[in-house]
Amino acid sequence: MNLKQLAAEKAVEYVKDGMRIGLGTGSTAYWAIRKIGERVREGLEIQAVATSKASEKLAQEHGIPLIPFAKLDGLDLTIDGADELDSELHLIKGGGGALLREKIVAFHSKEMIVIADESKLVDKLGSFPLPVEIIPFANEWTLASLDEISANPMLRTEEDHIFVTDNGNYIADCRFGSIDNPAELHRKLLAMPGVVDNGLFIGLAARAIIGRKDGTVTVLERK
């Protein structure tokens, strides 16, 4: 049983004719994109935008109509994965490095549904390193600022090169340990020059669909 597929396909049941849809990024969102593609081939009429170049390519391969952002004034629904989520539906995202585009798309959606297998559900966020997108200019100083707030930042690399996001930026993976106050940390990070955004998603997800090992799905709603 593929728990990511289970959660993703349940979420796609919320996609209806005429909707404007945000397509997430990652191995869970992959299953949602695949399923949406299947439904489009069966006649579902939607307009979509993607949260990464990888998801854009995948959507094209699956025949999902992608619309330029300028032609849409918002979205009805975004379906995306997460690296961690808590019971209040606060999220850590950005394991795949797409957090900035994902956050912009989720912010402009009437609803965001998070899809995940049950391993992503945690009591407190913070075991997964928090991705922070930083601009390359003076990144050494931004990393030093992050170090000063005990972030223990590590510049993300990929095959011996610095990882570069779709936006031309770097990712600092930060290890704060257990995060007691995600909203406060989010504000602190956004106030830091050189930081573009971070993987904390606060108050964006309305619903989470969790694939369970016993083959069921749990739907969590934001309180």
Ligand X SMILES: O=C(CO)[C@H](O)[C@H](O)COP(=O)(O)O
Binding residues: 25-28, 80-83, 93-96, 120
What does DSSP say about strands 154-155 and 84-85: parallel, antiparallel, or unpaired? Answer: unpaired
Contact stretch for ligand X (CB under 6 A) within 22-30, 67-75, 136-144, 182-190: 22-30
Q: Could you confirm whether 102 is annotated as catalytic?
A: yes
Closer to ligand X by CB, 37 or 129: give it.
129
User: Is 26 a binder of ligand X (CB under 6 A)?
Assistant: yes
**Contact between 22 and ligand X per CB under 6 A:** no
- Catalytic residue (choose from 9, 84, 102, 133): 102
24: contact with ligand X by CB under 6 A: yes
For helices 3-12 and 27-41, give the axis angle rounded to 10 degrees.
40
Q: How far is the CB of 43 from ligand X (least distance, A)?
A: 28
* Binding residue (CB under 6 A) for ligand X from 9, 46, 84, 97: 97
Give residue 180's identity as a one-letter amino acid code: D
CA 1 to chain CA centroid, nearest Å: 23
Distance, C-alpha 92 to centroid of its chain: 8
Establish if 5 lies at the interface with ligand X (CB under 6 A). Answer: no
Looking at the chain, the number of H-run helices and the number of E-run strands are 6, 15
Q: Give the nearest distance from C-beta 96 to ligand X in angstroms.
A: 3
DSSP string, 99-139: HHHHHHHHHTEEEEEEEEEGGGB-SSS-SSPEEEEE-STTH
| Size of the residue set binding ligand X (CB under 6 A) | 18
Q: Is there binding between residue 171 and ligand X (CB under 6 A)?
A: no
Using CB under 6 A, pick the residue from 96, 126, 129, 211 that binds ligand X: 96
Distances (CA, A) of 54 to 31, 50, 51, 174: 13, 9, 8, 24
- Known catalytic residues are 102
Contacting residues toward ligand X, per CB under 6 A: 24-29, 80-83, 93-99, 102
